[in-house]
Amino acid sequence: MINLTISGIEIIAEKKQIKNMYIRVVPPDGKVRITAPMSATDDAIRMFAISHISWIKKQRQKFKNQLRQTERKYVAGESYYLWGRRYRLDVEYSNIRNDVFVSGQKIVLQVRRDSTLQQRANVMENWYREILKEAIPPVFEKCEKLVGVKANEWQVKNMRTKWGTCNIEAKRIWLNLQLAKKTPECLEYVIIHELVHLLERSHNEIFRAYMDRFYPNWRAVKDHLNEQMLDHMEE
Ligand SMILES: [Zn+2]
């Protein structure tokens, strides 16, 4: 691990058995990571970082703006996404029951007038969870047939940094709750990606060849997902 500071930005570099040097800015807080070949000198890494500094700053600004946008207050007029479509939130007060439903171009959140931010957040989260859980089985089955493997179990989790995970030994796949907000192809891509891990553990050439075979458009969908930040979460 090498720590650099350039224009006041801290950068962590790591050397690995790879051919090319690459850089990424990691949401949500814009940490900068460089992965370099074992042969790269500290100077080469520093020059690489300097040559990307304006790009780094742009990425960090983007994350900052997105972070501001995702701090929710659960009041009318906020934007919420469902399957890649944008809706405006409407809040209705009811003492009878909490509910969320789509009405035309709006997502209507029905809660008690005196409900707290956390309670409203929970109602919305449960709604997204239900929608995603209902959508997954047919897609999952289709993807399992395509890849030719079966998982033992899948679960929906609200994860901060990952769209999906695969426990290879247990054959258990976790899918991020926030996939309900993205286009349906994102869900399909993440499921196929995690299922391919049952064939190949690492993100290596074999893995990529499987992805090319089972989901030729995977690079575009992956880029699209990576551009989007996961929601701001308190924990
Ligand atoms: Zn993976």
Chain centre distance of CA 32: 18
Across the range 82-91, mean pLDDT stands at: 95
Tens digits of per-residue pLDDT, 132-142? 999 999 999 99
Q: Which domain holds residue 220?
A: 79-227
Q: Is residue 32 part of a domain?
A: yes
pLDDT in tens, 91-140: 999 998 999 999 999 999 999 999 999 999 999 999 999 999 999 999 99
**Same-domain pairing of 129 and 55:** no
Domain count, the chain: 2
Same-domain pairing of 124 and 158: yes
Q: What separation in Å is there between the alpha carbon of 162 and the centre of ligand 1?
A: 9
How far, in Å, is the centroid of ligand 1 from the Cα of 212? 14
* Residue that is written with structure tokens 């399909």 in the block: 188
**Distance of CA 12 from the midpoint of ligand 1 (Å):** 22
Domain identity same for 109 and 49: no
Distance from the alpha carbon of residue 134 to the mean position of ligand 1, in angstroms: 24
The string over 137-162, giving b where at least 16 C-beta atoms fall within 10 Å of a residue's C-beta and e elsewhere, is eebbeebbeebeeebeebebeebeee
Bond prior to 28 in cis (omega within 30° of 0): yes
Of 34, 65, 96, which closes a domain? 65
In the structure encoding, which two tokens stand for residue 93, read together?
A: 């007060």
Whole-number Å distance, alpha carbon 221 to ligand 1 midpoint, is: 14
203 CA distance to ligand 1 centroid (A)? 6
Rg (C-alpha) for the chain, rounded Å, is 21
CB within 8 A of 82, min separation 6: which ones?
Answer: 102, 107, 128, 131, 180, 181
* Alpha-carbon distances, residue 131 vs 20, 128, 188 (angstroms): 41, 5, 15
Q: What CATH number does the domain containing 103 carry?
A: 3.30.2010.10
Does one domain contain both 95 and 50? no
93 near 111, Cβ under 8 Å?
yes
How far away, in angstroms, is 202 Cα from ligand 1 center?
A: 7
In this structure, are 189 and 85 located in the same domain?
A: yes
118 and 30 share one domain: no
Flag whether 49 is in a domain.
yes
Q: How far does the centroid of ligand 1 lie from the alpha carbon of residue 200, in Å?
A: 9
The torsion angles phi and psi of 228, rounded to 5 degrees, stand at: -95, 140
Checking if the pLDDT of 235 tops 60, the result is: no
Residues 111 and 7 occupy one common structural domain: no
Ligand 1 centroid, distance to 193 Cα (angstroms): 6
Distance 55 CA to ligand 1 centre (A): 26
Mean pLDDT across the stretch 167-183? 95
**Distance between Cα 165 and ligand 1 center (Å):** 7
pTM of this structure: 0.74
DSSP classification of residue 230: P
Q: How many Å lie between the centroid of ligand 1 and the Cα of residue 180?
A: 19
Tell me whether residue 80 is exposed, middle or buried, using C-beta atoms within 10 angstroms of its C-beta: 0 to 12, 13 to 18, 19 or more.
buried
Cα separations in angstroms, 217 against 37, 182, 223:
28, 16, 11
pLDDT number for residue 229: 58
Quick one: 117 and 151 in the same domain?
yes
For residue 226, name the pLDDT band (cuts at 50, 70, 90).
confident
State the pLDDT confidence band at 228, using cuts at 50, 70 and 90.
low
